Amino acid sequence: MRFFSRYWSLFPLVSIPFLYLPALHNLWQRWMTETEFSHGFLIPLISLYIIYERRQDIRTSAANGSVWGVWMIAFAVVLLLLGEISALFAAKQISFVVLLLGLAYAYLGKGAGRLLLAPILILLFAIPVPYFIEAILTARLQLLSSELGVMFIRWMGIPVFLSGNIIDLGNVQLQVVEACSGLRFLYPLMSIGFILAYFYQAHFVKRLLIFASTIPITILMNSLRIALTAVLVEKYGQVVVEGLVHDAEGWLTFGGCLLLLLAEVFLLERLTSRRPLLECVGIDSPKVGAAVGVVNLHTRPAYCALILLIFSGSALYVLSNIQRTNVPETNLALFPHQLGMWRGQMSIIDADIERKLSFSDYLMMNFHHPDRMEPINLYIAFYANQRNGESPHSPRVCIPGGGWEMENFERTYLNGMPVNRTLITREGQKQLVYYWFAERGMIVANEYYKKWLLLKDFLSTGRSDGSLIRVTIPVVDANNLAQSEQIITEFIASAHPVILQYLPDSSFK
């Protein structure tokens, strides 16, 4: 009873993993399937290591809770609820980190909270960057890496021509695809740069310089890699951009980035304090014999944190179970098997995959044309209630998860409607993919604008239904992509009006 009376205010903390379980599961999946975020597995371990190393300082600095923690927790709750309404996992994942920081301040006070600030903020580097930011960064880094790579090739005395992201060496052409943009090095290196800056016992300006330099270092090394690859392709053929050789180049490039980062620390110290490298990287030793701080769990900030956690759990439960009595219904099984000259054949999705996708209704059909060699696959996933993590899985996650690599990605317009277009490749096979979203009568391509519409419509009308439409065609002749492009766009033009007839529009009440 004495234990319960002293620590009862901590018991609601057990509910935190359940509040964030879908968001943390999504985080795990992206770590598993997206190479540029695979370093996320290590970030929590590093955070725990730092907390363990500073445990004595944290104990001595602990005091009564701070009201700042209450405000942080309140902000985390708002992010969590917005993420639930909009089915936006990134908001929930950031909310989780903010909540941890708020709890540290609310229960342990400002002193201990400041010591926990860095190891908790490190967790943000394990959260994948939102897709719209990633798309912008990828496009710009592709162009910049191509331009710098061509500059290095010319320095080697080799004539070269650059057209967009195509490096033309005369008898060999090399395309700088999304995977070569440098993002796969940038995200992990920025994480390492932040951790190194934390351990670097130096002035704040030096630490900031170390972290900021991760961006130019990544661009420089990636451009050198592109230049070296182009030269090797010209000499030895395509084997250097395939399989283990290509992967080895990537690891060597990342290793070079790490060496440059450490060399920067070495040079900074040689030019200033002249300390040995090992001496200036570490954690301050704890104060020996310092008194242990007294933590009072029964303070106003602690009670407020408790109330906010109970409120967030209750609100999340209500939101996740909200279901309109007149939910929009579809019957995609009645979709016509003939679209002009195209004849469709229904396909069935595996039961395990269907359970994971959690859609309300779906359509998977392969269409064949008597005058066309390539079949076209049409996939529609309808969600009557996009709550509790049930929403269309982004093709930008599912495609890499299926072992395909995106050679390029662009958001464009087709017949006046916004669509996403991507060319994907796997083991020499190529496919052209178009996809978009039908959100309560509105066609949307931008996935984050889709989230905003979902939030707005749910608050104003109570509706949260939506659909993903994806059209795919195999590229039989890689040298004649325009032919595949023409076939798929013609099919979409004829199929889209029919698709809309089987999905609920804005008039549904």
- Alpha carbon 363 to its chain centroid, in Å, reads 27
Q: What pLDDT does residue 258 have?
A: 86
Confidence check: pLDDT of 446 > 80: yes
Q: What is the largest CA-CA distance in the chain?
A: 85
pLDDT tens digits for 77-105? 888 888 887 777 888 899 999 999 998 88
Mean pLDDT of 50-57: 87
Long-range contacts of 358-365 (CB under 8 A, 24+ apart): 358/383, 358/389, 358/390, 359/383, 359/390, 359/392, 360/330, 360/384, 360/385, 361/330, 361/331, 361/332, 362/332, 363/332, 363/333, 363/335, 363/502, 365/335, 365/337
Confidence class for position 236, pLDDT limits 50, 70, 90 = low
Out of 163-172, 237-246, 400-409, 457-466, which region has the weakest mean confidence (pLDDT)? 237-246
Phi, psi angles (nearest 5°) of residue 405: -115, 135
Q: What pLDDT does residue 436 have?
A: 95
Cα separation of 436 and 251, whole Å? 35
Confidence class for position 150, pLDDT limits 50, 70, 90 = confident
Q: What pLDDT does residue 327 have?
A: 66
Q: What pLDDT does residue 326 have?
A: 63
Mean pLDDT of 92-119: 90
4-18, 135-149, 245-259, 326-340: range with highest mean pLDDT: 326-340
Nearest residue to 149 via CA among 171, 170, 167: 167
Cα separation of 153 and 159, whole Å? 8
Confidence class for position 1, pLDDT limits 50, 70, 90 = very low
Secondary element (H or E) of residue 425: strand 417-426
Q: What pLDDT does residue 48 have?
A: 92
Q: Locate all alpha helices (DSSP H) within 335-443, ordered by sequence.
A: 351-357, 395-401
Cα separation of 185 and 192, whole Å? 11
Mean pLDDT of 417-442: 89
Q: What separation in angstroms does the CA of 239 have from each of 223, 263, 439, 478?
A: 20, 33, 45, 18
Residue scoring higher pLDDT (91 or 175): 91
Cα torsion at 312, 318, 319, 321 (round to 10°)? 140
Mean pLDDT of 25-52: 86
Q: Locate all alpha helices (DSSP H) within 124-242, ordered by sequence.
A: 131-155, 183-199, 204-212, 214-236
Give the SS3 label for residue 325. Answer: coil
Length of the chain: 509
Reading the block at residue 78, the tokens are: 């708002």
Long-range contacts of 445-450 (CB under 8 A, 24+ apart): 445/411, 445/418, 445/419, 445/420, 446/132, 446/411, 446/418, 447/131, 447/132, 447/394, 447/396, 448/88, 448/130, 448/131, 448/132
**In this structure, what DSSP letter does residue 390 have?**
-
22-31, 59-68, 310-319, 496-505: range with highest mean pLDDT: 496-505
- Cα dihedral 259, 254, 214, 219 sign: positive
From its phi and psi, is residue 342 left (phi > 0), alpha (psi between -120 and 50) or beta? beta
Cβ neighbours of residue 78 closer than 8 Å, sequence gap 6 or more = none
Q: What separation in angstroms does the CA of 319 have from each of 118, 257, 279, 357, 450?
A: 33, 46, 53, 20, 19
Mean pLDDT of 280-294: 55
Confidence check: pLDDT of 427 > 90: no
pLDDT tens digits for 123-139? 999 998 776 666 667 76
Q: What pLDDT does residue 301 have?
A: 76
Whether residue 467 contacts residue 380, with contact meaning beta carbons closer than 8 Å, is answered with: yes
Mean pLDDT of 234-260: 70
- Percent helix, strand, coil in the chain, to 5, is 60, 15, 25
Confidence check: pLDDT of 288 > 50: no
Q: What pLDDT does residue 287 have?
A: 52
R_g (Cα) of the chain, nearest Å: 27
Whether residue 213 contacts residue 261, with contact meaning beta carbons closer than 8 Å, is answered with: yes
Residue type, 8: W
Phi, psi angles (nearest 5°) of residue 188: -65, -40
Give the SS3 label for residue 198. Answer: helix
Q: What pLDDT does residue 29 have?
A: 83
Residue scoring higher pLDDT (371 or 253): 371
Confidence check: pLDDT of 290 > 60: no
pLDDT tens digits for 364-373? 999 999 988 8
Cα torsion at 253, 257, 259, 260 (round to 10°)? 130
Q: What pLDDT does residue 324 have?
A: 55
The rounded mean pLDDT for the chain is 80
Confidence class for position 400, pLDDT limits 50, 70, 90 = low
Share of residues in the chain with pLDDT > 70 (%) = 81
Q: What pLDDT does residue 3 have?
A: 45
Cα separation of 49 and 44, whole Å? 9
